[in-house]
């Protein structure tokens, strides 16, 4: 047995790496010592838990002074037995380890989740900011550096150096490093010691700040999201192959056009701006670093296209601008979406995108690998690639104007509340109050943009840019908006004043503390609205599982839930999903709009029937 010593926060700690069965006697007696909670961690070949060839390498179980680093292949039975003991485990980012353990050791998420406490959840509740935002960070090493031992990040760097010395990269080292490499074993053992110590530092803070109920809710939610991720979504691989060839042809055709104007690489902003200037175009906008800006907003007008890529007929289209836009779009769709789908699928052609259930500063969820929350929505082609299981249909229910409704509920502006309760179109209502009964289409657009501005914190410059109006025209409309809904402004000012004179934070109804940047206190309204909308969706997910509908759910997308149901009962299931998502929040109805899409996700985005999945 390999035995290592390591000093953590001044204490001598031991790391044990059993090499034969007889070495496990010490592990068994360690388990018998009666720790109520042990730290738990795993080391694997990478992040794509469900990809073919993925392996679980190590399982580490330990306490504040002792770590057992167990080889998953050799000691599978002993590990499973240890996990099934009636005992709690502290884990950092438990969703990942729960899924690894479920898939590769057969101990189900349902079996283990209730006994797991996640220090990443604790940390997020205490301070949701990442390091670069000025927070403590959310990674184990960052947190350990602050709460446990400032030398905690050192082994990470040491391990990267080892990977490199062995000819691996930061990425490939996890799969390639020999399992008995001393630095690797030390790193693995240390992780679980740090985790245990971090748990004992953070748990009392969560309790002292009265965040225990919220913590319990988030733990439950994370386990449900892990179950959704384990299930995954089915891909139409034949369709994706066809789509990719189309996109490749499109990209190369338009790249050839761009090349005729001297742009050999459309992703090079330097080349594109130089060529456009050479053609006599005038570029005025610049990036933060001072270069000429050639993003979509700049190129579309040059190509005589509006935001939906239809001709404006205002000028002769610049053929280079047009070619650059089209090449880039085809490349992005090919690489970021279609290509990523294929690369990340499992052996059954399913995608198990990673759902970060408690991610943003506002606790909003995110989905990565691949980013399924941000597939193009103006076109069905990408979403068409994701399909329901055989015999089932994709269904969805999205909240209607949830952020405006949350804002109304929180600020209780009388006029806004009344307008929502009356059931009239909110933007029509606003336009009428701001511009009079004969408001134009453009004026309605301005009214809508001002409403968004209230939620996002935007001012007249933004509203003017979005609507194509002058700031001079927008300013009086904003004043009229404030006069119509004085409660919104009062509420925003109240949040800001409190932050100005008190703690730089805003506290949500659910009791979540959201830190504010001192020079962006105006973001308070957006934070509390965005976070509250997220909490409503989170509660809906819990409610849907409680109602026995969890098996239908596929993905949360900020204000909607994507699900599937057998064809014959799809309508009934989605109606029930919609009903359960609904609620009344401080007197404001929060309603969702249930819809049966069809065989693919694209069915809800206008895919012609003959091109949809069968």
Partner DNA sequence: ACGACGCGCCAC
Partner DNA sequence: AAACGTGGCGCGTCGT
Least Å from the CB of residue 326 to DNA? 10
Q: Kindly indicate which of the ranges 12-20, 109-117, 236-244, 362-370 contains the residues binding DNA, using the contact rule CB under 7 A.
A: 362-370
485 three-class SS: coil
Query: Going by C-beta distance under 8 Å and a sequence separation of 6 or more, which residues neighbour residue 270?
Result: 291
How many residues form the binding site for DNA (CB under 7 A)? 72
Q: Among 295, 425, 572, 593, which residue sits at the site for DNA (rule: CB under 7 A)?
A: 295
Q: Is 271 in the site for DNA (CB under 7 A)?
A: yes
Quick check: 284 binds DNA (CB under 7 A)? no
Q: Does 375 contact DNA by CB under 7 A?
A: yes
Site for DNA in 184-223 (CB under 7 A): none
Binding mask 473-512 for DNA (x = CB under 7 A): -----------------------x----------------
- Binder among 49, 101, 263, 294 for DNA (CB under 7 A): 294
Q: Does 374 bind DNA (CB under 7 A)?
A: yes
104 vs 329, which CB is nearer to DNA?
Answer: 329
Selected from 12, 33, 288, 308, the binder of DNA by CB under 7 A is: 288
Q: How many CB atoms sit inside 10 A of residue 458's CB?
A: 17
Q: Which stretch binds DNA (CB under 7 A): 85-93, 97-105, 119-127, 267-275?
A: 267-275
Q: CA-to-CA distance for 301 and 315, rounded, in angstroms? A: 9
- Strands 386-387 and 233-235 turn out to be antiparallel
| Burial readout 46-64 (b: 16 or more C-beta within 10 A, e: otherwise) | eebbbbeebebbbbbbbbb
Q: How far apart are CA 320 and CA 140, in angstroms?
A: 48
Q: Does 364 bind DNA (CB under 7 A)?
A: yes
Alpha-carbon distance values, 257 to 236, 320, 377 (Å): 32, 7, 27
Provide CB contacts within 8 A for 10, sequence distance 6+.
Answer: none
What whole-number distance in Å separates Cα of residue 197 and Cα of residue 181? 25
Compute the distance between CA of residue 170 and CA of residue 159 in angstroms, rounded to an integer.
9
By C-alpha distance, which of 284, 276, 285 is closest to 303? 276
- Selected from 85, 377, 424, 440, the binder of DNA by CB under 7 A is 377
Instruction: List the beta bridge partners of residue 40.
Output: 61
Whether the Cβ atoms of residue 94 and residue 118 lie closer than 8 Å to each other: yes
| Residues of this chain, 447-466, that bind DNA according to CB under 7 A | 452-453, 456-462, 465-466
SS3 call for 490: helix
Subset of residues 308 to 337 that bind DNA, contact rule: CB under 7 A? 325, 328-329, 331-332, 335-336
Q: Does 440 bind DNA (CB under 7 A)?
A: no
Residues 164-183 that bind DNA (CB under 7 A): 169-171
Q: Binding segment for DNA among 74-82, 106-114, 368-376, 385-393 (CB under 7 A)? A: 368-376
What's the order of all strands across the beta sheet hosting 392-399?
Answer: 553-556, 560-566, 392-399, 592-598
450: closest CA among 427, 468, 432? 427
Classify strands 588-590 and 592-598 as parallel, antiparallel or unpaired: unpaired
Interface positions, 92-121, toward DNA (CB under 7 A): none
How far, in Å, CA of 397 to CA of 420, rounded? 20
Judged by CB, which is closer to DNA: 18, or 137?
A: 137
Calculate the CA 11 to chain-centre distance: 38
Residues 165, 245, 252, 270: which binds DNA (CB under 7 A)? Answer: 270
- Near DNA by CB under 7 A: residue from 252, 265, 424, 584: 265
Interface segment toward DNA; rule CB under 7 A; list 3-11, 52-60, 284-292, 566-574: 284-292
The number of residues in the chain equals: 614
51 binds DNA (CB under 7 A): no
Residue from the set 51, 156, 183, 368 that interacts with DNA by CB under 7 A: 368
Q: Does 253 bind DNA (CB under 7 A)?
A: no
Which residue lies nearer to DNA by CB, 98 or 355?
Answer: 355
Residue in the block written with tokens 């969702």: 592
Q: CA-based angle 100:103:106, to the nearest 5?
A: 110
Closer residue to DNA (CB): 216 or 377: 377
Work out which of 394, 558, 596, 598 binds DNA, going by CB under 7 A.
558
In angstroms, the CA 183 to CA 176 distance is: 13
Residue 165 in contact with residue 171, Cβ under 8 Å? no
Q: Count CB neighbours of 206 within 10 A.
A: 19
Sites for DNA among residues 510-529 (CB under 7 A): 520-523, 526-527
Binding flag, residue 124, DNA (CB under 7 A): no
Q: Which residue lies nearer to DNA by CB, 40 or 138?
A: 138
Q: Does 396 engage in binding with DNA (CB under 7 A)?
A: no
Q: Whose Cβ is closer to DNA: residue 148's or residue 561's?
A: 561
Work out whether 378 is an interface residue with DNA (CB under 7 A).
Answer: yes
**Which residue of 69, 116, 367, 387 would you call a contact of DNA, by CB under 7 A?**
367
Report, in Å, the least distance between residue 367 CB and DNA. 7
With a CB cutoff of 8 Å and minimum separation 6, the contacts of 456 are 462, 526
């Amino acid at each position: 047995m390999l035995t290592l010593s390591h000093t953590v926060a001044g204490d001598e700690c031991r790391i044990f790496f059993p090499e034969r069965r007889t070495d496990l006697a010490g592990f068994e007696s360690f388990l018998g010592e009666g720790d109520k909670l042990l730290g738990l961690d795993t080391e694997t070949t990478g992040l794509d838990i469900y990809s073919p060839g993925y392996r679980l390498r190590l399982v580490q179980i330990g306490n504040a002074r002792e770590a057992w680093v167990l080889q998953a292949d050799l000691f599978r039975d002993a590990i499973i037995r240890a996990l099934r003991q009636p005992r709690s485990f502290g884990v950092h980012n438990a969703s990942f380890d729960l899924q690894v353990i479920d898939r590769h050791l057969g101990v189900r998420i349902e079996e283990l989740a209730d006994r797991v406490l996640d220090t990443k959840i604790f940390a997020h509740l205490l301070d949701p900011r990442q390091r670069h935002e000025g927070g403590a960070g959310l990674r184990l090493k960052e947190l350990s550096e602050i709460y446990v031992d400032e030398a905690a990040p050192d082994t990470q760097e040491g391990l990267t150096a080892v990977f490199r010395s062995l000819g691996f990269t930061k990425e490939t080292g996890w799969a390639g490093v020999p399992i008995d490499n001393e630095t690797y074993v030390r790193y693995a053992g240390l992780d679980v010691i740090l985790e245990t110590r971090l748990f004992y530092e953070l748990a009392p803070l969560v309790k002292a700040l009265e965040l225990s109920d919220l913590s319990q809710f988030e733990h439950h939610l994370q386990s449900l999201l892990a179950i959704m991720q384990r299930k995954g979504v089915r891909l139409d691989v034949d369709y994706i192959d066809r789509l990719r060839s189309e996109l490749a042809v499109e990209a190369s055709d338009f790249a050839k056009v761009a090349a005729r104007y001297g742009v050999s690489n459309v992703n090079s902003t330097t080349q594109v701006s130089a060529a456009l200037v050479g053609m006599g175009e005038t570029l005025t906008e610049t990036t933060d670093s001072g270069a000429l800006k050639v993003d979509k907003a700049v190129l579309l007008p040059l190509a005589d296209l509006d935001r939906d890529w239809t001709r404006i007929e205002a000028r002769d289209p610049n053929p280079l601008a047009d070619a650059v836009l089209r090449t880039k779009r085809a490349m992005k769709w090919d690489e970021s979406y279609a290509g990523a789908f294929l690369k990340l699928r499992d052996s059954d052609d399913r995608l198990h995108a990673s759902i970060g259930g408690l991610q943003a500063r506002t606790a909003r969820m995110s989905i990565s690998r691949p980013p399924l929350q941000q597939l193009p929505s103006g076109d069905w082609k990408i979403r068409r690639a994701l399909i329901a299981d055989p015999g089932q249909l994709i269904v969805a229910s999205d909240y209607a104007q949830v952020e405006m409704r949350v804002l109304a509920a929180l600020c209780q502006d009388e006029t806004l509340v009344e307008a929502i309760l009356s059931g009239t179109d909110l933007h029509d209502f606003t336009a009428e109050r701001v511009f009079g009964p004969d408001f134009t289409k453009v004026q309605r657009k301005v009214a809508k943009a001002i409403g968004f501005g209230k939620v996002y914190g935007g001012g007249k410059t933004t509203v003017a840019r979005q609507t194509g109006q002058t700031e001079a025209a927008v300013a009086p409309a904003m004043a009229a908006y404030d006069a119509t809904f004085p409660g919104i402004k009062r509420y925003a000012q109240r949040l800001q004043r409190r932050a100005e004179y008190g703690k730089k934070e805003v506290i949500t109804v659910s009791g979540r503390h959201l830190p504010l940047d001192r020079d962006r206190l105006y973001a308070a309204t957006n934070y509390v609205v965005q976070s509250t909308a997220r909490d409503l969706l989170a509660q809906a997910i819990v409610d849907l599982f409680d109602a026995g509908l969890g098996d239908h759910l596929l993905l949360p997308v900020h204000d909607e839930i994507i699900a599937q149901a057998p064809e014959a009962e799809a309508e009934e299931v989605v109606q029930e999903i919609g009903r359960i998502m609904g609620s009344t929040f401080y007197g404001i109805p929060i309603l969702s709009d249930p819809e049966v899409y069809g065989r693919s996700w694209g069915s809800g985005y206008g895919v012609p029937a003959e091109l949809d999945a069968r």
